[in-house]
Amino acid sequence: MPSLTKQRALLGMPVGKRRPDWPKVARYAAMGLGALSTAAGGVRAGRQVKDTAQATTKAARSTLDKVGDAAGKASDLGSAITPGGGGDGGGSDREENLKKLRLIIKESIDVGVPLKTAYNQWTQFADMPTYMKGPQSVDHEADDETRWVVKIGPSRRRWTAKILEQDPDERIVWESTEGTENRGVVTFHRLDGNLTRVQVEMEYFPNGFVEKVGNIFLMARRRVRKDLRLYKHFLELAGSETGAWRGEIAAEDGAGDGAGDDGSSEQETETTTARTG
């Protein structure tokens, strides 16, 4: 241990009594206090690390609990949409669950063109993929039937739609017969000589787990809204339609009432004007 005292010297020889070397004492005392402070800081840091670890563990447990709850809900959702799921009376339960899962879409947009121009452009279903991002391909080979491939979020859906009613410049009513289930009507309303409101109302049943989860965030509704805007921008920029289908399809009267003698219903379909474009 270093000496903390000192003694005067005369001609190299020690003289008198030894006295405390106060500067050295103060220096070593400061060093001791610093060491004690460092040790105390280490203890505090250790406690903080322990507290942080406990908080992290608690948060992780909470996250795992939430993930477990989400997985349970996903499992319940999968059971609800599986045919016959839910035990006894699965058919009625499935139908009720489908009603809860369906998405009712109502969107409209005002387009700065005459009503006839807006209607004519809408009838050009095959052209929709060129200016909309939802439809990937549309086949309109038969007057009253269209085949669709549509991108909704990360999914692609296919369906065949039958046109139940088509009244030029008024309305087009459709219902899917194969593929993803949907049905609806698009109507055209004259607001002014050069302003038309196009309104879409449809009932859409999300298909697949990803799409059903996306239904919570109205993914399909946003897709319809964005495509209506793209339709508006395209038509207003072009100023005129790319073609026209002015055929008329009459609504089915007395469907399911056995209009014919053999009990079958009849649908009157008129194609008054050939397709142009």
Q: 46-78, pLDDT tens digit by residue?
A: 677 677 767 766 765 665 555 455 544 544 444
**Count of Cβ atoms closer than 10 Å to residue 144 Cβ:** 17
**Count of Cβ atoms closer than 10 Å to residue 94 Cβ:** 18
Domain ranges in the chain? 19-101, 103-253+265-270
Question: Given this model, what pLDDT does residue 86 score?
Answer: 44
φ, ψ for residue 131, nearest 5 deg = -130, -5
φ, ψ for residue 2, nearest 5 deg = -65, 150
92, 124, 173, 181, 184 from 168: Cα distances, Å: 39, 13, 12, 25, 16
Question: Given this model, what pLDDT does residue 9 score?
Answer: 65
Residues of the chain with pLDDT under 50: 67, 71-72, 74-88, 254-277
Cα–Cα distance between 208 and 195 in angstroms, integer? 39
Question: Given this model, what pLDDT does residue 190 score?
Answer: 97
- CA quadruple 73, 75, 78, 84: dihedral positive or negative? negative
Question: Given this model, what pLDDT does residue 93 score?
Answer: 55
* Angle at alpha carbon of residue 147, lines to 143 and 148, rounded to 5°: 135
Question: Given this model, what pLDDT does residue 256 score?
Answer: 40
CATH number of 103-253+265-270: 3.30.530.20
Question: Given this model, what pLDDT does residue 197 score?
Answer: 97
SS3 state of residue 265: coil
β-pairing, 171-179 vs 13-14, is: unpaired
27, 134, 148, 171, 249 from 138: Cα distances, Å: 89, 11, 5, 19, 19
Cα–Cα distance between 90 and 81 in angstroms, integer? 10
Question: Given this model, what pLDDT does residue 257 score?
Answer: 41
